[in-house]
Amino acid sequence: MRSTFARYAINAVLKNRVWWWKFAAPHARLFSYLGIGHEPKVWGALRQAKGNLFVDVGSGYGWYVSLLRQNFNRLVAIDADPEVVSWLRLHAPANCEVLNVAISEKDGKVTLDRDPADFIRQLAIIEGPSVRGLTARSRSLSSLFPSAQIDLIKVDVEGGEWLVLKGAHKIMHQVRAWLIELHDPTRKGELASYMAQSYGYKSAWVDDFHAYFWR
């Protein structure tokens, strides 16, 4: 009981620090094994995923490309934050390509902002002007991967997941599975119906915010 409580306490404190992510992400498998990993239920759902190509949209400091580096021949980590990407390019697994671009519904430019309530201040696409905003290049997944067969796409983009899905419309038949973080849990039924009725995916909710889709 004490050891379990200690692991939860350590995880709650450490994961709220950027330095923790920079230290822990390259060693994600070890920390997950020790019970102080990030999103353990998500890792439980993905640990058996294998294939040729894994795409991590909103990769942050690379926790999942580190966890899955042995499961896939090729990994692509995508993040809109130039500071995060600069760090990740130095520390990503050897079989991982790192792209600094915002994934959205179309190619062009988008305005990004940092959520002040987010402990690591991740960038997210926002609507309208912002004095703190950052203009960034955007790409759709259909544009980035026009012919690639993708075994798994993980999406964590601070509320922009619907834009990512719209931009993937042309390649949905090429994607075997998705792990999507939904930032508005009141739309769980809408997301499941959209993926099932539009593209034939089966679904399972890993926790209150993460859904796994496969076919």
- 110 part of a folded domain: no
Lowest mean pLDDT among 28-32, 72-76, 112-116, 177-181: 112-116
- 88 part of a folded domain: yes
- 51 part of a folded domain: yes
- 105 part of a folded domain: no
The pTM (predicted TM-score) of the whole model is 0.85
Total domain count, the chain: 1
The answer to whether residue 116 scores a pLDDT higher than 80 is no
- 71 part of a folded domain: yes
183-210: average pLDDT: 96
Q: How confident is the model at residue 2 (pLDDT cuts 50, 70, 90)?
A: very low
What is the rounded average pLDDT for all residues in the chain?
Answer: 86
148-170: average pLDDT: 96
- 121 part of a folded domain: no
Domain holding 96: CATH number? 3.40.50.150
CB 111 within 8 A of CB 100: no
DSSP characters for 59-99?
A: -TTTHHHHHTTTTEEEEEEEES-HHHHHHHHHHS-TTEEEE
Beta-carbon contacts of residue 85 (< 8 Å; ≥ 6 apart): 79, 98, 99, 100
Q: Give the range of the structural domain holding residue 34, as residue numbers without chain letter.
A: 2-100+147-214
Q: How confident is the model at residue 122 (pLDDT cuts 50, 70, 90)?
A: low
